[in-house]
Amino acid sequence: MKKVLMLHGPNHNMFGHRDKNLYGTVTYEEINELMKKTAHELGLELEIFQSNHEGAFIDKVQEAFYNGTDAVIANPGGWTNKSAAVMDALDILTCPRIEVHMSNTFRKHGGVVEAQTAKTATGVIIGFGAEAYALALRAAASLIK
C-alpha cells in the first residue's frame, strides 16, 4: 500500500475557531476525517502530522525522506512565504509533493503570493476549502500509481 504523509503547519489545529470568513467553520478534525475517508477510497495509507513548531515539522519532512514515503502533502501555513528552513526541508523530498491551501492565497494576499515553499512542489492546490485536501490526495494517488 502506498504511503502518503499529510503535514499541517502552525495553527491548523485551530481550524473551525480561526477567521471563519477566510477558512470557514470546518474543523481540523473534520479535515482529517475527510482525508482518512478519501485515502481509504483510494487505497492509500495516510499519516497525518500537525505542528506549531518549525523544527518538529522539518524533522517530520526528513523522516519522510528517509522512510521512503511515496508522496507528501503539505500545508505549511504561516511558514509558506518566509521560512527558508521549511522550504529547504521540503526541497529534499524526492517523492511527489503537493502543497495545499484551503483559502485562495492570491485573494488573501491581494494578488501577490511569495509562496517560497511551493516553488519546488510537484503541484499546488488552493482555494477549495476543505475539499482541497481531498483533491490533493487524489492528485497524490494519481502521481504514485
What was the pLDDT predicted at 81?
A: 84
Mean pLDDT by 10 residues, the chain (145 residues): 97 86 87 98 98 98 98 94 92 97 69 73 94 98 95
Give residue 121's region: left, alpha or beta (phi > 0; psi -120 to 50): beta
Position of cell 482541497?
A: 132
What was the pLDDT predicted at 42?
A: 98
Q: pLDDT tens for residues 42-83?
A: 999 999 999 999 999 999 999 999 999 999 999 999 898 888
- 23 catalytic? Reply is yes
Q: Which of 8, 12, 28, 101 is catalytic?
A: 101
- 101 catalytic? Reply is yes
What was the pLDDT predicted at 106?
A: 60
Give, in order, the Cα–Cα distances in Å from 44 to each of 1, 48, 130, 134. 6, 12, 19, 12
pTM of the model as a whole: 0.92
2-144 domain in CATH 3.40.50.300? no
Handedness of CA 93, 79, 33, 107 (dihedral sign): negative
Work out the number of other CB atoms within 10 angstroms of the CB of residue 26.
17
Give residue 115's region: left, alpha or beta (phi > 0; psi -120 to 50): left
Query: Domain boundaries in the chain?
Result: 2-144
What was the pLDDT predicted at 110?
A: 59
Q: Which of 23, 28, 40, 109 is catalytic?
A: 23
What was the pLDDT predicted at 37?
A: 98
